[in-house]
Amino acid sequence: MRYWWVNQNQTYAHEVGGGYLWSPKVKSDGGANAFYDFMREVSPGDVIFSFSGTYIKAIGVAASHCYEAPKPIEFGNAGAYWDKIGWRVDVRFVELNGAIRPAYYMDRLGPLLPQKYAPLQQNGKGLQGVYLASLSNQFAEVLVDLIGYEARTLISGVRVRDAVEAPTAVGLVEWEEHELAKIAQNVLIPETTRKAVVLARRGQGLFKQNVLNFESRCRITGVDKIEHLRASHCKPWRDSTNEERLVGENGLLLTPSIDHLFDRGFISFEKNGEVLISPVAHIESLQKMGVQTKGKLNVGAFSDGQSQFLQYHRDSVFLKSKYIAR
């Protein structure tokens, strides 16, 4: 279990009421933001303290890993934000009857604030630009002590088995259904192309044939029977243009379980073939699926075209924040 602090001044009602966290991937100017990137490392069962209007008003328990999703429709009033893709985590929030104001307790909290990526200032005021921040166990323990019975009861009852990831990531499913509907309704796309693009979502059809020009087996498990393999997009189907959805170098042949791990960002690959494992991945499950988790695993180098698409996967799908020290 890990602890997080989320600043929700403008989004508190939507996120706590809707049961999620949502952030952009980058700042409006395209620059990186550590407080958005931290979303990648939230896991089911993690505890999240919600700060809004200078008070800790709610505590949440993460119910999913992070996943790509459009900006929620309730953040605006002009329809769904299908072109604004960010990070989403499903959360079970409980609003507190006894909200506390951290500014009153900075004599205890201040010394525990991290020097880098702190969630608030030494005077207890929030920091502009901060969304999600990681908390030390010591900081979280003091917060729990200050909140009292409500916090202790909630956190003592947290079990990872009670926060199982939902079978479908709601925002992700809605986004892909929207993309499929766009294709089906676009009469400017030839029917054969439309069918090929739709089949590509399932890793089949023309896309799989194109991937076979570059791949012959699952890089992780070694399975080479084509009927047991799925063509998995490096730059996800949901993110790609129709042309990219059919490009062979945008794919790997993977068994269904490895395809799941890759699509959801639990594993990725370097250009030289080194396998990357997310810090939020369940190691025992990965081992049962055939992923070697001890020592380094190299599955062989990729072509230049594949490397470009894999760079996108590492930057925009892989669940690992570059801002959290190991």
Per-residue pLDDT, 80? 52
Residue 176 pLDDT: 85
pLDDT of residue 113: 94
pLDDT of residue 312: 97
Which residue intervals of 186-254 are DSSP H helices? Answer: 191-201, 205-211
Ordered by where they begin, the domains of the chain are 3-168 (3.10.590.10), 186-316 (no CATH)
What's the pLDDT tens digit per position in 11-59?
A: 899 999 999 999 999 888 888 999 999 999 999 999 999 999 999 999 9
Q: Per-residue pLDDT for the chain (326 aa), expressed as one digit of tens each? A: 899 999 998 889 999 999 999 999 988 888 899 999 999 999 999 999 999 999 999 999 999 999 999 888 776 544 456 668 899 999 999 999 999 999 999 999 999 998 899 999 998 888 888 999 999 999 999 999 999 999 998 887 765 445 445 545 777 888 888 888 899 889 899 999 999 999 998 889 999 999 999 999 999 999 999 999 999 999 999 999 999 999 999 999 999 999 999 999 999 999 999 999 999 999 999 999 999 999 899 999 999 999 999 999 999 999 999 999 87
Rounded to 10 deg, the angle between the 191-201 and 170-185 helix axes is 170
Query: Which two three-digit tokens encode residue 241?
Result: 């243009």
| Alpha helices for the chain (secondary structure H) | 12-18, 34-37, 106-109, 137-147, 149-156, 170-185, 191-201, 205-211, 256-263, 283-288, 304-316
Report the DSSP beta bridge partners of residue 6: 50, 132
pLDDT the model gives residue 158: 64
Assign 174 to helix, strand or coil: helix
Compute φ and ψ for 320, nearest 5 degrees: -155, 125
Is residue 133 within 8 Å of 38, Cβ to Cβ? yes
Within 13 Å and on the Cβ side, how many CA atoms surround 53? 7
Please give the Cα distance from 184 to 205 (Å, whole number). 17
pLDDT at residue 82, as a whole number: 63
CA 50 to CA 18: how far, in whole Å?
Answer: 14
Q: Specify the length of the chain in residues.
A: 326
Torsion of CA 174, 180, 183, 186, to 10 degrees: -60
